[in-house]
Amino acid sequence: MKEQKMERSEAYKIAKSLIVKLSPCCERIEISGSLRRKNPNVGDIEIIGLPKTIEAQDGFFDKKQVRNSEFISAVNNIGKIIKGSPENGRYIQIELLGGFNLDLFLPQEIDYIRMLIIRTGSKNFSQNVIANAWRRNGWCGTEDGLRLIDECEAKNDKSGKIIKWICIADNPTLPPVFVNEKEFFDW
């Protein structure tokens, strides 16, 4: 089945309206993907956001940060959720009115800039330039962000190709917190 495309101007209007709906319940939120790269036609809308959180009880004595109910409600009202969960998902795919998809990426705060960069770059650029550069520096990408390769274990497919990295360290070494994209690229 051929992927449906929409003109950039139409996709941009939709993306901006989604940003307006989600901004009040996010610390940060930005358009990414082919729309941010200004492709003339896009197949989906990609947005990266950092939802606001509140403190909630976790057991008898502990507390934890959870996404606020306004964010969860706003995401649930955008369209039909295909994948992920607004309560705790890092990736949510939503079918919008008209059949186009929103890919909503929700990284941890420490991983926001890295995710913005890899979700904005083309697949080829992200894999062959960005990921190769951090691997040369001894890091790998995990579900929790960048971690030292020495503190991770590679999971391979049947052919031996690495399909994902899993951090196995109890207290992993964390990368710097990048304030902007320039800092990340300089690193």
Which pTM value belongs to this model?
Answer: 0.86
Q: What is the mean pLDDT of residues 54-77?
A: 88
Q: Note the pLDDT of residue 1.
A: 40
Q: Note the pLDDT of residue 28.
A: 95
Q: Note the pLDDT of residue 64.
A: 84
Rg over CA atoms, the chain: 18
Q: What is the four-CA torsion angle of 85, 76, 141, 157, rounded to 10 degrees?
A: 50
For residue 36, how many other CB atoms are within 10 A of its CB? 19
Q: Decide: 100 and 135 in contact? Cβ < 8 Å.
A: no
Q: How confident is the model at residue 3 (pLDDT cuts 50, 70, 90)?
A: low
Question: CA 53 → CA 60, 64, 87, 112, 178, distances in Å?
Answer: 20, 9, 10, 15, 20
Q: What is the mean pLDDT of residues 177-187?
A: 91
